[in-house]
Chains A and B, each alone.
Chain A
Amino acid sequence: MTGRKVLTGFEITADSHTLAGYRARGGYEALAKALKTMQPRDVTQEIVDSGIQGRGGAAFPAGRKWQGIDPHDGQPHYLIANADEGEPGTFKDRWVLEHDPHALLESMLLGSYALGVRHAFVYIRGEYDRPWRRLDAAVEEAYAEGLFGENILGSGFSCDLFVFRGAGAYVCGEASSLLGSIEGTRAWPRNRPPRMTVRGLYQAPTVVNNVETIASMAWIIRNGAQAFREIGTEKSPGTRLISISGHIRYPGVYEVELGYSWTKFLHEDCGGLLCNKPLKAVIPGGISSQVMTGMDAKVLTPGEVEGMTLDHEVLRAAGSSLGSGGMIVIAEGTCMVRLLQIMLRFYRHESCGQCTPCREGTGWMHRIIDRIVAGEGRPEDIGTLYHIARFNDGTTICGLGDAAGYAATAMLDNFRDEFDYYIEHGHSKFGGNLECQ
C-alpha cells in the first residue's frame, strides 16, 4: 500500500465510473455543499489552505493560481482542465478520465463556481479515445441530471462544459498553447507577460489546471483543507498519481502519498525490476524531468528503506522533479545513448517551431545523437550538446526547449562514459539494448 488515497480510494467495478457509481461514494456532495453554504471566495480559500500543488509538472500552488482571478470583476473567466496528457511515461490522467470522470466534472463545477466561470473546458489529447468516451458519457449524464447548464441544483449558478479534443500535438499540454488550440489557431505558446489569469482564453482571465490537480478539488471541498493537509508532507500535501513504466514488474498507475518511500514503492508495491536486474536509472516525472542514477535515487536494493521519499522538495533538492508523475524505470544493461536518441527525436518532433532556440536546438541535438548512434560521433559532439542545452535553458517561450536540454544534460552528466564509449568505438557499450533481457 502506498499510503492514504484521495483519488483512487474506491473499488473499480462495472459502473464505478458512472454517475450512479460516483454518487454512491459521496459524489457531488461537495458541489451541493459549496453551492448552498459557501461563497465563491470560500471555495478558493479552501483550495489555498489545502496547499495542493499543480500535478501537471511545475508544482505551482494551485490555490495561488486561482487567487489570480477575481470572480466578481464582471468579465468572463474560463477554467480549463488540461487533459492533454502527452509527457512520455505519463498516463495518470487517463486513469482519472477512464475510472473517475465525475470527480473531474464535480471539481470543474466547484472551480467554475469559485472563479465565476460560465463556460469551462476539458482539453483532452486527441489520441485518447476510450478516456474521451468515458468522459463524454459522464458529461452527458451530468447534463441530464442538471449538473451542468442553467441554474445548477437550483442555486442560480450556471455553467456549461465543452470537451475539446486535441489532434496530436504534445505542445498543447503547455497551457498557453492549449489556448491557441481552443481558439482555432495553430497551437503556439504565448509569451508571458501577460499571465493567463490576466489574459488567457479569448483574452479573458483563465485558469488552466491539470486533470489530477483539479480532480482532487472535490475531495478537498468535501473533506476540508485540513484533512488534505494531514495527508502527505508539510510542504507537499496530498498524494500523487504515479504512472510507472519501463523495466518494472507491475507497471501501472499508483496513488502514492507524498513522502512515501521510493524504495518501498519500487520494490514492494511495483514488484521490483523485470529480469531481476539492478536499477540503473530512473526518470521520476516524465522524460522532461532529469534522469537520476539508481545510486542518486538511493533505491538500489530492495529493503533499503532509508532511501529518498517521493515528494516535490526531496526530488527538487536532488536535481530532478516529480514532474508529471510519469516514472520510467531503467534496468542495468540498457543503452542510455539510444534512450536519449528517442527522447531527442521526440522533442524535435513536438517542437512547435515558433521560437528560435527550441526550433533549431531540438533538431540540432537530434541530428547529433542520430549521428552518434550511427557510429559517426565526434568527441566535440558532447560539448555541442551541452552548449545547445545550455542556451535552450530560459531562452525559449515555453518549457519544451528547456526540457529537451534538461533531458540531454542529465543523461550526459550521469552516463557520460557511455556516450564517450559510443563515440570512441562507434557502437553501444550495451549493444544498443533498450529492452530488459
Chain B
Amino acid sequence: MPVIFINGEAVDTGEHPTVLQAALANGFYVPHFCWHPELSVVGNCRVCLVEQEGRGVNIACNMPVVDGMRIETDSETVRAQRKAMLQFILLNHPVDCGICDKAGECTLQDYHYAYNGEPALSREPKLKGTKFYPLSSRILLDNERCILCSRCVRFTREVSKSNVLGIEYRGDSALVRPAEDRTLDDDPYSDNVIDICPVGALLSRSFLHQARVWYLEPTPSVCPRCARGCTVQLWHRKPEWQLKTLDPSHNTRILRVTPLENPRVNGPWICNRGRDLGEVLERPRAEQALQKGAGVTMMEAIEATRALIAESTRRIALVSSWASNEELRAFQNALGDRFTSFVKPDQLPEEGEVVEDELLIRADKNPNTRAAQDLFGSEAPEIREDADLILVWGEGVDFAQLPRGAKIVFLGSWLLPEVGHADVFIPLSIQTERRGHYTNFEGVVSAFEPCQPRPEGVIDAETLFPLLAAPGGARGRA
C-alpha cells in the first residue's frame, strides 16, 4: 500500500485511491463541499486544495496517492487559498442563516468559522436568486444559498437514477433546476438530496421552520417499512429543551427522519417512505384493553386470554412481521408449543408505492419477516376451518376471513376497527417506545432505541407473553 506523508506524518493509504480519502481516513480533516464518498468526483468547489511538495496546490479529491508524496493540508498557501475560496463561495450567498433550517448543521457555516472567519471582502450587492422554488411536494430549492456543488444533481443521476435535476445556464447565472417534464416527486429517494446538500439550498417542506436543529437530538432506529431495514435517526426535541406546551406530544414528536449511515444495509441513503415514519408510527394508538369491544383492565384482558387458551385445542397464531427479534423469541419461548404459528405480512404495498427497485426498496413491506420466518417457518398461513382460537398479532388480517367458530385474541398497537371485533384486544407498545432488533432480509441485525414514552395502557409484547403462558393466572404480576 502506498505510504504518503501528510503534514510530515507517514500515512498508510490502504485502499484509498485519493489524497482526500487517505487524509480523511487517517484523521487529517480536509474540508470539502462537492466531494461525497458515494458520488463521482467533480472537483468543482475547490475547497479541498492541498499542497504537494514540488507540485504546488491542487484539489485533494482528484489527487491520486503516489507512494512517497508529501502533502501539506494546512500550509500558509493552502490556508490563504481556502480562505479565498470561501470568500468566493460567500460572494453571492445570502448568509440568511437566521431563517435557514440548515443553520447549526451547515458545512458552509462550519467552514466559515473554521477556515475563514473574516468579513466579506466584497462590497458588491449580492446577486438575487429564486427562493423557495418548489422541486416537489416535499422539497424546496433556494438558489441564493446554493453553491453549485452539484451533489444533488449527481445523486439523481448516479444513485437514484431519476435524472430529475440539472444545472442550467452558465457562469454566475448557472443554477440548479428540475427537468421540465418531471419533479422530484418522481424520485422515491429525493429527500437524500436534502441531507447531502452542504448548505441550506434544499429544504424539506415538512421540516420547514419546524425547529432549530440544535434543540433536537437523534435516536437510532430501524425503518420498519420494508425488509431492507434501513438504519435511521429519529429526530425529536432534546429533553433539556422541552417546550412548555399544553400538548406534550410536541416534545416527543418525530420531527424528521434521516439515514443512519450503514455500509452493510443502506449506505448513507433511505427512501422517502422511510422519512415519513410519522405516517405509520404516529397513527392514533389503541391504549385500552378490550373484551368484545368493552373496556377492561390489562389484568382482565390477560386473564381472559389465558382462559381462552385453556379452553381451546386447535390454536393458531398469526405472527407479526413487525415484531422485534426479542418479542418473537418471547412468543416462541412462552407460547410456541401451544400454537400452530404462521408468519403473516402486517403491511402490503400500497397504491402508488414503488414496490421494489435495485437500490433499497424491497417488495416485502415488513421489517422482520426474516427473523419471524426463521422461528416459525415460511409457509403461507393456512387456517383450518375448525380452529377454535386465533391469536392475531399485529395488523393486516381481515377478521371476516377467519373461521366463524374461532375465538380471536388480537394484539395490536393502532386504533383499528378490528380492535372492537376481537374477543380480547390487548394494546402493545411500538418500536419507538422500547428497545429491540430487526433482522433484515439479508440477515443483518440492526438495533432500535426508544425515544417516546409508552402510553399508560399498553404493554410490551416481551412482558405480555410470559404472563399469558404463566400457569395459575397472572394475579399480582401485571
Hey, which bits of chain A sit against chain B, CB under 8 A?
169, 171, 186, 191, 193, 348-357, 359-364, 367-368, 371, 378, 384, 387, 390-391, 394-397
| A169-B170, A193-B62, A363-B127 known; A357+B57 contact, CB < 8 A | no
Determine whether the beta carbon of A391 is less than 8 Å from that of B43: no
Determine whether the beta carbon of A191 is less than 8 Å from that of B85: no
Determine whether the beta carbon of B91 is less than 8 Å from that of A364: yes
From B47, B85, B124, give the contact of A364 (CB < 8 A): B124
Determine whether the beta carbon of B173 is less than 8 Å from that of A360: no
Task: List 20 A-B residue pairs with CB atoms under 8 Å apart, sorted by A's residue number.
Answer: A191-B42, A348-B171, A353-B173, A354-B42, A354-B44, A355-B45, A355-B46, A356-B85, A356-B148, A357-B85, A359-B88, A361-B88, A362-B172, A384-B121, A391-B81, A391-B84, A391-B85, A394-B57, A395-B49, A395-B84
A367-B124, A391-B80 given; name 15 further pairs at CB < 8 Å.
A169-B170, A186-B167, A351-B170, A352-B171, A353-B167, A354-B174, A356-B46, A357-B46, A359-B171, A362-B172, A363-B127, A364-B122, A364-B124, A391-B84, A395-B57
Rounded to whole Å, the gap between the CB of A124 and the closest CB of chain B is 20
Rounded to whole Å, the gap between the CB of A403 and the closest CB of chain B is 14
Q: What residues of B have a CB within 8 angstroms of the CB of A169 in the complex? A: 170
Q: What residues of A have a CB within 8 angstroms of the CB of B100 in the complex? A: none
Determine whether the beta carbon of B44 is less than 8 Å from that of A397: yes
Q: What residues of A have a CB within 8 angstroms of the CB of B56 in the complex? A: 394
Q: Bound complex: CA of A171 vs CA of B174, how far in Å?
A: 14
Q: Bound complex: CA of A350 vs CA of B80, how far in Å?
A: 27
Interface string of B123-152 (1 = CB under 8 A from A): 110010000000000000000000110000
Closest 4 pairs between A and B when the two form their complex, measured CB to CB = A353-B174, A391-B84, A363-B172, A351-B171
Closest chain A residue, CB of each to CB of B171: A351
Interface string of B147-169 (1 = CB under 8 A from A): 11000000000000000001101
Rounded to whole Å, the gap between the CB of B111 and the closest CB of chain A is 12
Determine whether the beta carbon of B172 is less than 8 Å from that of A387: no
Q: Bound complex: CA of A387 vs CA of B88, how far in Å?
A: 11
Hey, which bits of chain B sit against chain A, CB under 8 A?
41-47, 49, 56-57, 59, 62, 64, 80-81, 84-85, 87-89, 91-92, 121-124, 127, 147-148, 166-167, 169-174
Rounded to whole Å, the gap between the CB of B147 and the closest CB of chain A is 7
Q: What residues of B have a CB within 8 angstroms of the CB of A360 in the complex? A: 88-89, 91-92, 172
| A193-B62, A348-B172, A359-B172 known; A395+B85 contact, CB < 8 A | yes
Rounded to whole Å, the gap between the CB of A411 and the closest CB of chain B is 19
Most buried by B among A186, A350, A355, A394: A355
| A352-B170, A353-B171, A395-B81 known; A371+B57 contact, CB < 8 A | no
Determine whether the beta carbon of B171 is less than 8 Å from that of A356: no
Closest chain B residue, CB of each to CB of A360: B88
Most buried by A among B43, B57, B169: B43
Rounded to whole Å, the gap between the CB of B166 and the closest CB of chain A is 8
Determine whether the beta carbon of A193 is less than 8 Å from that of B64: yes
Closest chain A residue, CB of each to CB of B43: A191
Rounded to whole Å, the gap between the CB of A404 and the closest CB of chain B is 11
Rounded to whole Å, the gap between the CB of A170 and the closest CB of chain B is 10
Determine whether the beta carbon of A368 is less than 8 Å from that of B124: yes
Closest chain B residue, CB of each to CB of A351: B171
Determine whether the beta carbon of A356 is less than 8 Å from that of B147: yes
Q: What residues of B have a CB within 8 angstroms of the CB of A371 in the complex? A: 124
Q: Bound complex: CA of A384 vs CA of B91, how far in Å?
A: 13
